[in-house]
């Protein structure tokens, strides 16, 4: 069985002090929902404070990006060696990093390999633009992103990854993909591509999240779908009450 995973991507929100206060309030409220994996991905600078505040809880910490080199002349970047021991997850290839920081399928692939080499679990983000969606290019594009991200990875490594399908047009817009649309791409494209690469048995075990305007109102519909194993959440993960609701609804739907 695939354990559902709800991850909050806080993007460039919350100072270290705000992030620490937030998780101190959040952690006890999430504690009952042990059948769901619960992850927060704060900005880099807040990671130490968040991690120490979550010590002794089951809530995991993730980073929002990583470089592929251990060290070097890469101003502004953070390496997997630096994240090791601080986080268990790292989001790689988020559309905002592809748009603003130059991520490509090649750099995503290098980052995935680097994360795995340091024992970090990559949450590999993929998803098409509105223009691609309207041109009917979604399936080919997402499949190509998955093939790019997993190039050269063994089945054993693939099993240590999570995918997040986040259509760009649904991110922060309130215009979410319907649950059946999302399930169609997640099952029919992402999981099918993974099955082409690694066989059904491996593909069946890899967790795939949906992301893009996930809210307490629509969470139940997503998690009820056959191929959707959780959510990567921006806006609704920034408030304690809505984060708790997302996890509670997931826990109760998969029971």
Q: Which is nearer to ligand 13P, 80 or 234 (CB)?
A: 234
Verify binding: residue 42, ligand 13P, rule CB under 6 A. no
Q: Which two tokens stand for residue 225?
A: 């779908």
Q: Out of 115, 120, 171, 189, which residue is the one contacting ligand 13P (CB under 6 A)?
A: 171
Minimum gap (Å) between residue 94 Cβ and ligand 13P: 6
Q: Is 71 a catalytic residue?
A: no
Q: If you ran DSSP here, which 8-state letter would residue 254 be given?
A: H
CA angle 4, 6, 7 (to 5 degrees): 140
Minimum gap (Å) between residue 125 Cβ and ligand 13P: 7
Q: Which two tokens stand for residue 253?
A: 């739907």
Determine which one of 37, 94, 96, 128 is catalytic: 94
Sign (positive or negative) of CA dihedral 92, 94, 98, 102: negative
Q: Alpha carbon 22 to chain centroid distance?
A: 20
Residue number of the CB closest to ligand 13P reads: 234
Verify binding: residue 94, ligand 13P, rule CB under 6 A. yes
Verify binding: residue 167, ligand 13P, rule CB under 6 A. no
Segment near ligand 13P (CB under 6 A), from 67-75, 82-90, 234-242, 243-251? 234-242
Strand partners, 37: 5
Verify binding: residue 212, ligand 13P, rule CB under 6 A. yes
Q: Which is nearer to ligand 13P, 29 or 215 (CB)?
A: 215
Give me the half-sphere count of Cα atoms (radius 13 Å) on the Cβ side of residue 188: 10
Q: Which class for 220: exposed (0-12), middle (13-18), buried (19 or more C-beta within 10 A)?
A: middle
Minimum gap (Å) between residue 70 Cβ and ligand 13P: 26
Verify binding: residue 142, ligand 13P, rule CB under 6 A. no
Verify binding: residue 208, ligand 13P, rule CB under 6 A. no
Give me the half-sphere count of Cα atoms (radius 13 Å) on the Cβ side of residue 107: 15
SS (H, E, C) 23-54: HHHHHHHHCCCCCCEEEEECCHHHHHHHHHHC
Minimum gap (Å) between residue 38 Cβ and ligand 13P: 15
Verify binding: residue 9, ligand 13P, rule CB under 6 A. yes
Verify binding: residue 211, ligand 13P, rule CB under 6 A. yes
Q: Is 118 a catalytic residue?
A: no
- By C-alpha distance, which of 116, 126, 125, 120 is closest to 60? 120
- By C-alpha distance, which of 172, 170, 186 is closest to 223? 186
Footprint of ligand 13P (CB under 6 A): 9, 94, 166, 171-172, 211-214, 232-236
Which sequence positions are flagged as catalytic? 94, 166
């Amino acid at each position: 069985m695939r354990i559902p995973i709800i991850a909050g991507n806080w993007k460039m929100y919350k100072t270290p002090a705000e992030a620490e206060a937030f998780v101190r309030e959040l952690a006890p409220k999430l504690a009952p929902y042990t059948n769901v994996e619960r992850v927060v991905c704060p900005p880099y600078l807040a990671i130490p404070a968040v991690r120490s505040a979550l010590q002794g809880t089951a809530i995991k910490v993730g980073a929002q990006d990583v470089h592929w080199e251990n060290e070097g002349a890469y101003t502004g970047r953070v390496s997997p060696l630096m994240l090791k021991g601080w986080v268990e997850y790292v989001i790689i290839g988020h559309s905002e990093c592809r748009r603003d920081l130059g991520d490509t399928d090649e750099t995503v692939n290098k980052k995935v390999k680097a994360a795995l080499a340091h024992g970090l679990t990559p949450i590999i983000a993929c998803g098409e633009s509105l223009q691609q969606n309207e041109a009917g290019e979604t399936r080919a594009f997402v499949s190509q992103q998955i093939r790019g991200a997993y190039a050269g990875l063994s089945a054993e490594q693939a099993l240590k990854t999570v995918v997040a399908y986040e259509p760009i047009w649904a991110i922060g817009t309130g215009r979410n993909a319907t649950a059946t649309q999302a399930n169609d791409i997640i099952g029919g494209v992402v999981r099918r591509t993974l099955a082409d690469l690694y066989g059904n048995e491996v593909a069946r075990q890899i967790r795939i999240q949906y992301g893009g305007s996930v809210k307490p109102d629509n969470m139940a519909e997503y998690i009820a779908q056959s191929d959707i194993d959780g959510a990567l959440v921006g806006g609704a993960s920034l408030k304690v009450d809505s984060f708790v609701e997302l996890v509670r609804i997931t826990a109760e739907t998969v029971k």
